[in-house]
Homo-oligomer: A and B are copies of this chain.
Amino acid sequence: MEPEAGAGGARASRSTRQKRALASVMAESRRFRSAQEIHEALVGRGESIGLTTVYNQLRALAEAGLVDTLRAPDGEILYRKCESNSHHHHVRCRSCGRTVEVKGVAVERWAERVAARAGFVDVDHTVEVVGTCAQCAGRHFASA
């Protein structure tokens, strides 16, 4: 019989110039950026790629867990390719966006505990820490 017989055999993903360019740009930034910013970065680098494609691919990458996402205060979705593939959290600079990944054994346990205490199951959580990074804080002092 044929490989993947039956209904809905997952079709192979194709390698395209656009996907490669996007992956490249995502790999080089340590910041969370919006789809528009990422598209600008691509164009600025001389790549030809549609904004719609950037949106589509970023969504696909996010669903596949290959990029992390978070909501900016204004609601925009920001994307980032993290170094770690396992569960982690972020400490992000509200000024420049620089982000560092951190493990959170303490919060993992805390989340489980308070949820269980409230009678909740199938628990999940969102934890984001935001502040001003050393570099941005220093810049402030310099100009003040």
- Across the interface, do A110 and B118 meet the contact criterion of CB distance under 8 Å? no
Q: Which segment, of A30-38, A40-48, A126-134, faces chain B?
A: A126-134
A125 vs B94: C-alpha distance when bound (angstroms): 11
Number of interface residues of A (CB under 8 A): 34
Given A91-B114, A114-B104, A118-B100: A127 and B125 within 8 A (CB)?
Answer: yes
Closest approach, in angstroms, between the C-beta of A134 and any C-beta of chain B?
4
Q: Judge if A102 is at the interface, Cβ distance under 8 Å.
A: yes
Contact for A130 among B106, B123, B133, CB less than 8 A: B123
- Across the interface, do B127 and A131 meet the contact criterion of CB distance under 8 Å? no
**Hey, which chain B residues are within 8 Å of A125, CB to CB?**
127-130
- Across the interface, do B131 and A122 meet the contact criterion of CB distance under 8 Å? yes
Q: Judge if A107 is at the interface, Cβ distance under 8 Å.
A: yes
Closest approach, in angstroms, between the C-beta of A123 and any C-beta of chain B?
4
- Across the interface, do A121 and B131 meet the contact criterion of CB distance under 8 Å? yes
Q: Judge if A66 is at the interface, Cβ distance under 8 Å.
A: no
Name which of A75, A115, A134 has the most chain B CB atoms within 10 A of its CB: A115
Closest approach, in angstroms, between the C-beta of A112 and any C-beta of chain B?
9
Name which of A91, A100, A120, A137 has the most chain B CB atoms within 10 A of its CB: A120
Please provide the 4 A-B residue pairs with the shortest distance between their CB atoms, ordered closest to farther.
A120-B131, A119-B134, A123-B131, A106-B110
Name 20 A/B residue pairs within 8 A (Cβ), A-sorted.
A71-B71, A71-B75, A89-B114, A91-B120, A93-B120, A102-B118, A104-B114, A106-B106, A107-B107, A107-B110, A111-B127, A111-B129, A120-B129, A122-B131, A123-B131, A125-B127, A125-B129, A125-B130, A126-B130, A127-B127
